[in-house]
Structure 1
């Protein structure tokens, strides 16, 4: 299992935070307009951004999290949906995933491509995923490798898109890093997921979204969890253990604040007085 280094974590976390404002200042991050592609839905709302540099092998696909009431409602659409992907045997599939998150990835984008003159239609609209893949294909062919990241539902879209990319372009995905991601995988998809050893799921304290959907045994989280709690990082902490740790610390918190290390931790405040 590969490690997620501190500078990598900080870079992806900052990008996820900066993805939410309507204006994305890519120039301050060292990217030019030529190196930044915004992927929008049919309403013109940015769903994902593709960031790359000519002198770097890594391309970052950044997914925004929940942005509207419609997106929030899709979080509750937990019905099983057959996972999309390019398979040699068209009669098979690699499992089921959360309907709502797959719908977000498969919704129509703003990009239309022209069709041949003899076609009944003049053009066809790409889905969000198809738009992303079309923009990534030439970059992958030139030797670039893809990192996918996102917060909340954006993290769920990132893992679904990563699986499809890895099926279409083997060994093209460098890593997947998600923040506060709800589960999107049913058991069979978990079994066939190709990127467990390159997927890092960052969880902060008792982030309730990371426990969703609340159906133990039905949904399974993908990859490796990194739980940020009490100034430590716990590797692959089980949800029930996370819940126990947080609740037990809440119960003893009045006593724990008496410990001397709490006073030492706050020593820097005295520089301001």
Structure 2
């Protein structure tokens, strides 16, 4: 069997590639820079040129493929899925979002899910909630430079999910029967406050990290200056906007207590293995924070 992985060098995609290779699957990795991708991915993975934003570039990559791991690009999803079906793909696993499960996403991931569902092919949606990896993007620069984290709501938290749990579920859905028509919402095994997350990272790197409480506005300015992921997502992460960019009140975050929600669905329901904790994630990424 041949599996095509799109978004193959991304935070989840590259782990899906690794998991498929470990299972003995024949893997193709789609990339706009296949030579660079070949250097990042395991030996034996065939990298192919293509761009989900330009569906006409995908035909050669899809030839002979049976399973497809689909990174979400809403604008072209229907054409991509149609081309996959014409090429003989029979199973698609979508990297979606827990925001769809919560009814918060109608424009980013939901259109991709619907395009796949309406194709007549086997489908599975993998819907991760908050990525633990976000903290590396948000806090990494200040931890590495100053051993400091600045946050307006240190006692807020959620159920951050390890990216390897997401990839493990995707690999299972790609290679094994019994997952067709399922939408798996994935979270971490426990609610973890931002204060506790900082403490877990400090323990992982073996050094003290100061947590400084700032106003939402101050945090917003710092994230904007930081650039990249932090700047692009500051308004949503700090409560100034909802998932789809509509104005919101950042004070609602301070009033929210995720611990009252009880346990959330995790990868264990699919893999049979307990979901990785945030402390485990921090240990896995300790070098990235040093």
State the TM-score, normalizing by the size of structure 1.
Answer: 0.30
Highest CA radius of gyration, 1 or 2? Answer: 1
Task: Give the structure with the larger strand fraction.
Answer: 1
Whose RCO is larger (CA < 8 A, sep 6+)?
Answer: 2
Which structure carries more helix by proportion?
2
